[in-house]
């Protein structure tokens, strides 16, 4: 048995699970799991499906899927499909075209603009001269010698009477109306005042019996084991976007890929389960 099969056997022994437990959790036939640990690759399905089995089994055991998949391909005798460093190449530079101004077109546009401005100015903006009518001279104002009598052309301006206007005394109706309106307003009952602020009642976030509401969310395909109040209630592989809700005093969560599991306690996001591949935490 090579390093690949020994790595899988040691990881399964470390978790303390059997092939039957792994089959129930990953939904992979135990015959394929045993073939991986024994490196009997001729008993596995085609290579494309075998890679998927290796990845899921590695996540269940809490191992790095990329490292385990590389060891599988090395043991299987295949070339690794990792990343290759490719030297950067510059794209061919296209010749740049320099723009040269056409002075004839620019001069033509300036001339058209000047003509349009002149038309607009003369039509709408130029000040208009108002003609003042010349007074006509009557025949009676002419002097015998051919001149014009200045006194005859003067117009008479009516004079205004500068006598003061006597004050107008208010009538009895106008003096009594405001008093009646004021008395009616004074006799009216005061209007009730509305409160300016509303006090919101606090919303309880925890049940009366002291139990918490726990929720786990899988952001990727990951194996999760959950125990609530000391009893195991979940041990399976969750698909991306899966949610599970539990109630109790305490909850213990274990996962082979902790960064892909988020935990919520009473509606509050506690963040990822951990930053390592294999991690365990107890809430709240």
Residue 10's CATH number: 1.10.260.40
109 assigned to some structural domain: no
The mean of the pLDDT values for the chain is 74
pLDDT of residue 123: 87
pLDDT of residue 172: 43
Residue with tokens 């005394």: 169
Which of 46, 76, 106 is the last residue before a domain boundary?
76
98 assigned to some structural domain: no
Q: Which of 14, 15, 32 is nearest to 23 (CA)?
A: 32
139 assigned to some structural domain: no
Question: Distance between CA atoms of 42 and 76, rounded to whole angstroms?
Answer: 10
53 assigned to some structural domain: yes
pLDDT of residue 83: 37
pLDDT of residue 179: 44
Which of 76, 109, 128 is the last residue before a domain boundary?
76
pLDDT of residue 261: 92
pLDDT of residue 128: 67
14 assigned to some structural domain: yes
Q: Which of 31, 58, 66 is nearest to 45 (CA)?
A: 31
Which of 26, 59, 76 is the last residue before a domain boundary?
76
Question: Distance between CA atoms of 106 and 82, rounded to whole angstroms?
Answer: 61
Q: pLDDT below 70 — which residues of the chain? A: 1-2, 78-101, 126-208
pLDDT of residue 209: 73
137 assigned to some structural domain: no
120 assigned to some structural domain: no
State which residues form the domain around 252: 212-278
pLDDT of residue 80: 42
In the Cβ-directed half-sphere of 187, how many Cα atoms lie within 13 Å? 6
Question: Distance between CA atoms of 27 and 56, rounded to whole angstroms?
Answer: 10
pLDDT of residue 82: 43
Task: Please give the DSSP secondary-structure letter assigned to residue 278.
Answer: S
In the Cβ-directed half-sphere of 19, how many Cα atoms lie within 13 Å? 12
118 assigned to some structural domain: no
Based on the structure, what is the number of domains in the chain?
Answer: 2
> What tokens does 123 get?
């039509």
């Amino acid at each position: 048995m090579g390093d690949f099969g020994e790595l899988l056997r040691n990881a399964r022994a470390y978790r303390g699970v059997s092939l039957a437990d792994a089959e129930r959790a990953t939904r992979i036939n135990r015959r394929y799991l045993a073939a991986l640990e024994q490196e009997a690759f001729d008993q596995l399905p085609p290579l494309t499906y075998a890679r998927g089995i290796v990845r899921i089994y590695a996540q269940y055991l809490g191992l790095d899927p990329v490292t385990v998949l590389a060891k599988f391909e090395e043991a299987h005798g295949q070339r690794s499909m990792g990343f290759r460093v490719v030297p950067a190449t510059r794209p061919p530079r296209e010749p740049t075209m320099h723009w040269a101004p056409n002075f004839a077109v620019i001069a033509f546009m300036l001339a058209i603009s000047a003509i349009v401005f002149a038309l607009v100015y003369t039509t709408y903006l130029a000040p208009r001269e108002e003609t003042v009518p010349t007074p006509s001279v009557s025949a009676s104002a002419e002097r015998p010698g051919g001149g014009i009598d200045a006194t005859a052309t003067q117009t008479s301006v009516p004079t205004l009477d500068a006598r003061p206007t006597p004050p107008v005394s208010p009538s009895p109706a106008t003096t009594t109306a405001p008093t009646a309106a004021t008395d009616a307003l004074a006799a009216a009952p005061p209007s009730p005042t509305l409160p300016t602020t509303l006090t919101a009642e606090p919303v309880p976030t925890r049940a009366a019996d002291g139990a918490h509401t726990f929720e786990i969310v899988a952001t990727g395909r990951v194996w999760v084991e959950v125990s609530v109040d000391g009893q195991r209630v979940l041990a399976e592989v969750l698909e991306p976007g899966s949610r599970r809700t539990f109630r109790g005093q305490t909850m213990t969560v274990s996962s082979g890929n902790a960064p892909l599991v988020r935990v919520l306690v009473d509606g509050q996001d506690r963040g990822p389960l951990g930053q390592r591949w294999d991690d365990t935490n107890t809430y709240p």
